[in-house]
């Protein structure tokens, strides 16, 4: 997986098939997107990409938490309920910080 770290972003590229973006705000990360090209969906690319992201950030002890807002990107992707189930498999839980702007906000504590 190719990883490009910028000042406030970390970009992940899994063989030009699946992509992930993290934004950085002090010691908190936000998973902005995981997207797999439509022709490669249901072939575990998103799973591999998320595992790669979590493995990478687990080595960075300065990050305390990662947030995400699981929203379907298009009509061919996973529906909301399946997205939530997908992220729960990786230890994400419903966030107490959810609000009207981010009603499905999820979080995962890191390096604890």
Q: Model confidence over 5-38: pLDDT tens digits?
A: 998 999 999 999 999 999 998 888 999 999 999 9
pLDDT of residue 72: 86
Banded model confidence at residue 64, pLDDT cuts 50, 70, 90? confident
Global model pTM greater than 0.85: yes
Question: What is the average pLDDT score of the chain?
Answer: 91
Q: How many domains does the chain have?
A: 1
| Cα dist from 101 to 55, 95, 97, whole Å | 29, 13, 10
Task: Report residue 76 as tokens.
Answer: 């061919």
Structural domain including 98 reads 2-109
Strand partners, 5: 10
| CATH code (residue 105) | 3.40.630.30
Residue with tokens 């992509």: 19
Judge whether residue 76 has pLDDT over 90.
no
């Amino acid at each position: 997986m190719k990883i490009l770290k910028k000042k406030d972003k970390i970009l992940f590229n899994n063989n030009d098939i699946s992509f992930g973006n993290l934004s950085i705000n002090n010691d908190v990360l936000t998973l902005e997107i995981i997207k797999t090209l439509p022709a490669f969906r249901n072939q575990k690319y998103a799973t591999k990409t998320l595992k790669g992201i979590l493995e990478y950030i687990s080595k960075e002890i300065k990050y305390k938490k990662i947030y995400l807002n699981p929203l379907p990107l298009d009509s061919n992707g996973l529906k909301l309920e399946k997205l939530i189930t997908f992220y729960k498999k990786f230890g994400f839980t419903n966030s107490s910080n959810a609000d009207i702007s981010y009603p499905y906000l999820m979080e995962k504590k890191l390096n604890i």
